[in-house]
Structure 1
Amino acid sequence: MIKRVMSLIAALGVVVATFVFLPASTASAATCAPAWSSSAVYWGGGAASYNGHNWSARWWTQNERPGTAEVWADQGACGTGGTDPGTPNPSGFVVSEAQFNQMFPSRNSFYTYSGLTAALSAYPGFANTGSDTVKKQEAAAFLANVSHETGGLVHIVEQNTANYPHYCDTSQSYGCPAGQAAYYGRGPIQLSWNFNYKAAGDALGIDLLGNPWQVEQNASVAWKTGLWYWNTQSGPGTMTPHNAMVNGAGFGETIRSINGSLECNGGNPAQVQSRIDKYKAFVQILGTTPGSNLSC
């Protein structure tokens, strides 16, 4: 019967394609798009395969892993797909340089990624304690607070110069050898006050009391002061930000340790929410979840 129908169609001058009929059991899934790459740029509509699925970019994206970021729309199974893990990070830091640049697209050139990774040796437990999730959460928490303090790593020094003379506590026996107005906020955590410069310098083996300007002139020194506060100081809180993240107290406790006396317990909910929003954005870039206890 099929042969007679085909002959009739051919006689009518209709072009007929050649069909090959396969048993249903050999039918295959959709063809996979090129494997997703962490270094590639995808525009809206761009296609990539990852973990056996095809994905379509809803808008511009780079280094946002399919399945962990809303920018990607799942287009269904496609066989084996791509599993590109991304370019290995030689520093061992859980944040790659591409992710760092994505977090801080408008950063001041002073705040280099190499300066940050060079500073990590001062506190090897930072973003290197616990599970991969905890490591990424701590890195995101630190960088989210840093972003808030510096306007996205834009400001190196405190912008309100009228405050500069206020940061000299003359009751300290060592006083303010660099001058009364020399201990204003600098660096990623905006280190301020002569006693903080003294403590940070002693811990890091750098004379910051006598030469506080190093924090605005040397990127590695600047990052080290931020890590010093994060890993060793409780501020107005009850624990260091590092301990808050690795012991499950949550991101909210890092806010309390940094500026809790002014922001927490209803002091400035808008500022608290700003920090939380940035943290949520950063954990998404790192492909993990924010955890609980986000507010203070």
Structure 2
Amino acid sequence: MDRSKPARLRRLLVASAVAVLGALILIPGAASAAGTGAITGYGGKCVDVSGAGTANGTKIQLWTCNGTGAQNWTVGSDGTIRALGKCLDVSAGSTADGAKVQLWDCNGTGAQQWVANAARDIVNPQANKCLDATGVSSADGTALQIWTCGGGANQKWTVPGGGTGGGGGSGFVVSEAQFNQMFPSRNSFYTYAGLTDAMKKYPAFATTGSDTVKRQEAAAFLANVSHETGGLVYINEINTANYPHYCDTSQPYGCPAGQAAYYGRGPIQLSWNFNYKAAGDALGVDLLNNPNLVATNSSISWQTGLWYWMTGTGGAGTTSHNAMVNSQGFGVTIRAINSIECNGANPAQVQSRVNNYNQFVGILGVPAGGNLYC
């Protein structure tokens, strides 16, 4: 990965949250049921349509379970969750913490896409946030909203029939055996358990879309990571002469860990003080003062890789996650991660990434798709 300051600054400045999943436009009424019944959650209460109303904008709330149609939800294999002929919807397609959840005409937008995962989160991939009982309350009438996933009891749900709402309810689409096959010479630091633990921070990763799309996204992420680390061999940047160059003294917080402390580490070779600050803020870890956590804690290290995959846009104008779930192609992920390789600037590096991707989709048994190059 190129670590020149202009490229890294550009990546940071244009990084954004997961954007609208435009490729997930669905045909209203076309859902097939993965399960139908009550969705239970905090305090043993049920997800309920207020007053059994069917008007657009009707409040979704917690209520004592009563077996009525207002609590009878169909978790569709198309990613929708429906009751009373309408869809569970995030108001105005918002991605903000506290955005209310309501009933609305099914329209196939990202505001109506949900993934119920093995951790019992119900995630809106468009916002990368969890269905949440407001105020950590279980009182009848408590409004439901979306909120940053934190693992609290007010974000844990049991869906009918064990349905997954289009997600990977059985776990990561890459088995540990397949992971080991992909990385036969990997450093023991890069554990499979560390990766799957890190995925709890970004529950929409490799759980969005069809089974093929999930596997393609996992393969694309791991292919780029393999390129960055020499097959998950290297933890720290090899060229130690570069180490003092990654301190941007114009940042108000400076380089408290030392001028030479912000060299490349981990699966995406995170570098520069401002990237350590941004990643740490997003992950709830003080990486600015403790950058070596990326080289000593496997889960945190993997989290930095997923942080950039899910939020960084680089020169692509979209995240790598969105590029894969929107079927824009593997080449767009290269442009998001290191655009200076593209447009013929470094074809050997691009080819290395593509070769990894082709190998990994082969292991996972899915086609590579189009637009492999940038």
* TM superposition score normalised by structure 2: 0.55
**Alpha-carbon deviation of 1:100?**
0.1
Contact 1:165 1:182 in 2 (8 A): yes
Deviating 4+ runs (over 4 angstroms): none
Matched, 1:271 2:349: yes
The equivalent position to 2:300 in structure 1, one of 221, 240, 247, is 221
Letter in 1 for 2:220: A
Letter in 1 for 2:171: G
Contact 1:148 1:275 in 2 (8 A): yes
Query: What is the DSSP-based 3-state SS (H/G/I as helix, E as strand, rest coil) of the residue aligned with 1:185?
Result: coil
**Alpha-carbon deviation of 1:96?**
0.1
Higher relative contact order (CA 8 A, sep 6+): 2
Match of 2:137 in 1: none
1:219-267 Cα distance to aligned partner (Å, 9 max, x none): 0000000000000011232111111101111100000011112x10001
Match of 1:202 in 2: 281
Structure 2 unaligned blocks of 5 or more: 1-167
CA distance in structure 2 between the aligned counterparts of 1:193 and 1:247, rounded to whole angstroms? 30
**Alpha-carbon deviation of 1:147?**
0.2
**Alpha-carbon deviation of 1:274?**
0.8
Letter in 2 for 1:101: N
CA distance in structure 2 between the aligned counterparts of 1:222 and 1:90, rounded to whole angstroms? 24
Contact 1:115 1:219 in 2 (8 A): yes
Matched, 1:100 2:179: yes
CA distance in structure 2 between the aligned counterparts of 1:248 and 1:267, rounded to whole angstroms? 24
Report matched runs for 1:77-156 at 5 Å: 92-156=171-235
Q: Which has the larger Rg? A: 1
Contact 1:158 1:186 in 2 (8 A): yes
CA distance in structure 1 between the aligned counterparts of 2:177 and 2:273, rounded to whole angstroms? 36
Match of 2:62 in 1: none
Change beyond 3 A, Cα 1:156–1:246: same
Query: What is the DSSP-based 3-state SS (H/G/I as helix, E as strand, rest coil) of the residue aligned with 1:201?
Result: helix
Query: What is the DSSP-based 3-state SS (H/G/I as helix, E as strand, rest coil) of the residue aligned with 1:155?
Result: coil
**Alpha-carbon deviation of 1:91?**
6.4
Structure 1 unaligned blocks of 5 or more: 1-88
Query: What is the DSSP-based 3-state SS (H/G/I as helix, E as strand, rest coil) of the residue aligned with 1:133?
Result: helix
Match of 1:165 in 2: 244
Letter in 2 for 1:200: A
Letter in 2 for 1:130: G
CA distance in structure 2 between the aligned counterparts of 1:188 and 1:173, rounded to whole angstroms? 27
- Give the aligned length: 207
Query: What is the DSSP-based 3-state SS (H/G/I as helix, E as strand, rest coil) of the residue aligned with 2:265?
Result: coil
- Higher normalized strand content (fraction of residues): 2
CA distance in structure 2 between the aligned counterparts of 1:191 and 1:249, rounded to whole angstroms? 25
Matched, 1:249 2:318: no
**Alpha-carbon deviation of 1:273?**
0.6
The equivalent position to 1:175 in structure 2, one of 254, 262, 285, is 254
CA distance in structure 1 between the aligned counterparts of 2:228 and 2:371, rounded to whole angstroms? 21
Letter in 1 for 2:347: P
Contact 1:91 1:117 in 2 (8 A): no
Query: Structure 1 vs Structure 2: percent identity of aligned residues?
Result: 76
